[in-house]
Amino acid sequence: MTTHLPPYWLRDNCPCAECRDQRNGQKLFQITELPDDLGIAAQAELDGHLEVLWSDGHRSRYPLEWLAGAADGDGRTEADKRLWAAADFAHGIPEAHWEAYLADPAEQAAVLAAVRRSGFAVLRGVPAVERQVLAVAGTFGHVRVTNYGELFDVRVEPDPNNLAFTSVAITPHTDNPYRDPVPTLQLLHCLDNSATGGDSGLVDGFKAAAVLREEDPEAFAVLTRTPVPFVFRDRGTELRADRPLIDVDPLGRIREVRFNNRSIGTLRGAAGELEAFYAAYRRFAAITLRPELQLEFRLDRGDCLIFDNVRLLHARTAFEKDGHRHLQGCYADLDSLTSTLAVLRRRAAALDTIAELFAGEGAGEYLGEAVTMAEHMLQAGALAQAAGAAPHLVAAALLHDIGHFRGALHGRDLMEGRDNRHSDTGADWLARWFGPEVTEPVRLHVAAKRYLCAVEPGYRERLSEASEYTLGVQGGPMTGEQAAAFAAHPGAEDAVAVRRWDEQAKEADADTPDFEHFRPLLAALMH
């Protein structure tokens, strides 16, 4: 199989440190720097890897699993969406409470995933205060400022420059199609909705486009290939963007929908083209108005709707002026939302990995102590928590021996007389997820033992038998000079605190919480 891989593709994907920044994956060479006659001089499969010697002498090593990887997408086309009709939400729409969203990364991830897959979600109980919508956007991305400002107020205005700022019904549309780039997300936060009417509606524009493609493929094709001039003009603004109503990617998959009858300007072209466009446009518009596609719900005070503005069409029923209706909205972009979701998932996966380490290797004996490694670490975390320690210290206490699981040298090697430097190994691994406030006490917890044995009378005597043994391997008590240097280290105090819980956390049959107890605390500390 691997013999048929195109050489430039393979070489461009070389994962070695010379070719690629190990931290961010950015390539360190230009594609033009590769020789014109690049070829594979030799290759072999070994240890689950393809090893390649290149004609220019470079060597590359690729995991076979990676080579066999399948194509995936960036999540922006219909291929990665859940297309929907109103009935699909008969049992409820994607929603979460603001407090839970803020407190629990899993809840936040679920909300962002709903926006990505279904195109929307509603946060309930968001404080109904002015400008709060900007804070909501800030939890996953960056506000996109437009001619309407950083945020806009949707309420009846005396001299409206947009239909949104009146009380009349508004049919399903996307916002700002006259912008290029169009804002890909919109947020609408309800501060007040005591008027009769003024309900919100959503239509899945991808679904509507897919229905059109099914029922009238030629009309669909016309809408994908006709750039339509969208225009908006007021005193300080003159925007125009020529884009198709339905934008497909090079593979023909629906990627973006723009639909706003109010802002379609004058399309020019041959009479036949105009005729075909208007027939297709009317047909598509009629589909977006089908009752089965209209999802209707009410935004009440404190609700914040987040939706994909290059996919979902939003609408509003007319309302009476018998009460107030006031929404604040802002725009943002899908790329940051998707990035935030990916990072949340990456962190959740890291916590899963740690949980597996506790459950797996952690269940093994702990260097001759009466507890398992997992019990020891859980006890240390629980002791820190019982002492009222700050979350980062609870995390450091909980994770201080993680290097025993992860090091190239296993914990057993320590008992065989070699310092496995598990404190450094653990701290370095944790640094992928946690800041120095967590990693440095872990890094220094071995040094802290050597320090305490040097400066605190009676400390060494209280060490367990195993800990007394490893003290020797680790270098014995510090000299006076070493101890002074250690004490001057800004992280010394935290490291000493962790060390004390470490020594205490060796009680057989203590009643300790399990790893899941600490997950929210860890999640909140991850960056």
CA dist., res. 225 & res. 242, Å (int): 11
Q: Is 289 in the site for a second copy (CB under 8 A)?
A: yes
User: Which residues within the stretch 314-333 sit at the binding site for a second copy (CB under 8 A)?
Assistant: 333
For residue 517, the one-letter residue type is H
For residue 347, the one-letter residue type is R
SS3 108: helix
Q: Which stretch binds a second copy (CB under 8 A): 196-204, 258-266, 319-327, 499-507?
A: 258-266
Of 51, 88, 335, 507, the residue at the interface with a second copy (CB under 8 A) is 335
Of 56, 180, 215, 456, the residue at the interface with a second copy (CB under 8 A) is 180
Q: Which stretch binds a second copy (CB under 8 A): 108-116, 174-182, 355-363, 474-482?
A: 174-182
Q: DSSP string spanning 391-416?
A: HHHHHHHHHTTHHHHHSSS-HHHHHT
- Kindly state the smallest distance separating residue 153's Cβ from a second copy, in Å: 17
Of 60, 118, 146, 423, the residue at the interface with a second copy (CB under 8 A) is 146
- Kindly state the smallest distance separating residue 33's Cβ from a second copy, in Å: 9
SS3 430: helix
Q: Is 174 in the site for a second copy (CB under 8 A)?
A: no
CA dist., res. 26 & res. 525, Å (int): 27
SS3 60: strand
Q: Is 22 in the site for a second copy (CB under 8 A)?
A: no
- Taking a C-beta distance cutoff of 8 angstroms, is the pair 95, 280 a contact? no
- Kindly state the smallest distance separating residue 104's Cβ from a second copy, in Å: 19
Q: Is 468 in the site for a second copy (CB under 8 A)?
A: no
Q: Is 240 in the site for a second copy (CB under 8 A)?
A: yes
**Cβ-based neighbours of 131, under 8 Å, separated by 6 or more:** 151, 328
Question: 399-425 as b/e, with b when 16 or more CB fall inside 10 Å?
Answer: bbbbbbbbbebbbebbbeeeebbbbbb
Q: Is 8 in the site for a second copy (CB under 8 A)?
A: yes
Of 234, 356, 365, 456, the residue at the interface with a second copy (CB under 8 A) is 234
For residue 479, the one-letter residue type is T
Q: Is 339 in the site for a second copy (CB under 8 A)?
A: yes
Q: Is 90 in the site for a second copy (CB under 8 A)?
A: no
CA dist., res. 182 & res. 191, Å (int): 26
The size of the interface with a second copy (CB under 8 A), counted in residues, is: 95
User: Which residues within the stretch 477-506 sit at the binding site for a second copy (CB under 8 A)?
Assistant: none
Q: Is 73 in the site for a second copy (CB under 8 A)?
A: yes
Q: Which stretch binds a second copy (CB under 8 A): 177-185, 192-200, 207-215, 359-367?
A: 177-185
Q: Is 132 in the site for a second copy (CB under 8 A)?
A: no
CA dist., res. 129 & res. 485, Å (int): 52
Mark residues 148-167: x for contact with a second copy by CB under 8 A, - for none.
-------------xxx----
Task: Give the total residue count for the chain.
Answer: 527
- Kindly state the smallest distance separating residue 361's Cβ from a second copy, in Å: 26
Of 195, 241, 295, 496, the residue at the interface with a second copy (CB under 8 A) is 241
Q: Is 239 in the site for a second copy (CB under 8 A)?
A: yes
Of 57, 92, 158, 268, the residue at the interface with a second copy (CB under 8 A) is 268
CA dist., res. 197 & res. 503, Å (int): 66
Nearer CB in complex with a second copy: 278/387: 278
Burial of 442 (0-12, 13-18, 19+ CB in 10 A): buried
- Kindly state the smallest distance separating residue 300's Cβ from a second copy, in Å: 28
Q: Which stretch binds a second copy (CB under 8 A): 27-35, 89-97, 114-122, 209-217?
A: 27-35
Of 231, 355, 370, 463, the residue at the interface with a second copy (CB under 8 A) is 231
- Taking a C-beta distance cutoff of 8 angstroms, is the pair 50, 61 a contact? yes
Q: Is 186 in the site for a second copy (CB under 8 A)?
A: no
Q: Is 64 in the site for a second copy (CB under 8 A)?
A: no
List the structure tokens of 64: 């076979």
Residue 58 CA: distances (Å) to CA of 17, 51, 376: 12, 11, 47
Residue 364 CA: distances (Å) to CA of 41, 67, 360, 373, 491: 46, 35, 8, 6, 30
Q: Which stretch binds a second copy (CB under 8 A): 18-26, 46-54, 321-329, 379-387?
A: 18-26
Q: Which stretch binds a second copy (CB under 8 A): 115-123, 246-254, 397-405, 407-415?
A: 246-254
- Kindly state the smallest distance separating residue 249's Cβ from a second copy, in Å: 6
- Looking at residue 5, the DSSP 8-state letter turns out to be S
Q: Is 189 in the site for a second copy (CB under 8 A)?
A: no
Residue 182 CA: distances (Å) to CA of 243, 258, 259, 306, 348: 10, 9, 12, 16, 32
**What is the end-to-end Cα distance of the chain in Å, rounded?**
40
- Kindly state the smallest distance separating residue 319's Cβ from a second copy, in Å: 18
Q: Is 131 in the site for a second copy (CB under 8 A)?
A: no
CA dist., res. 109 & res. 349, Å (int): 12
Q: Is 346 in the site for a second copy (CB under 8 A)?
A: yes
CA dist., res. 51 & res. 2, Å (int): 11
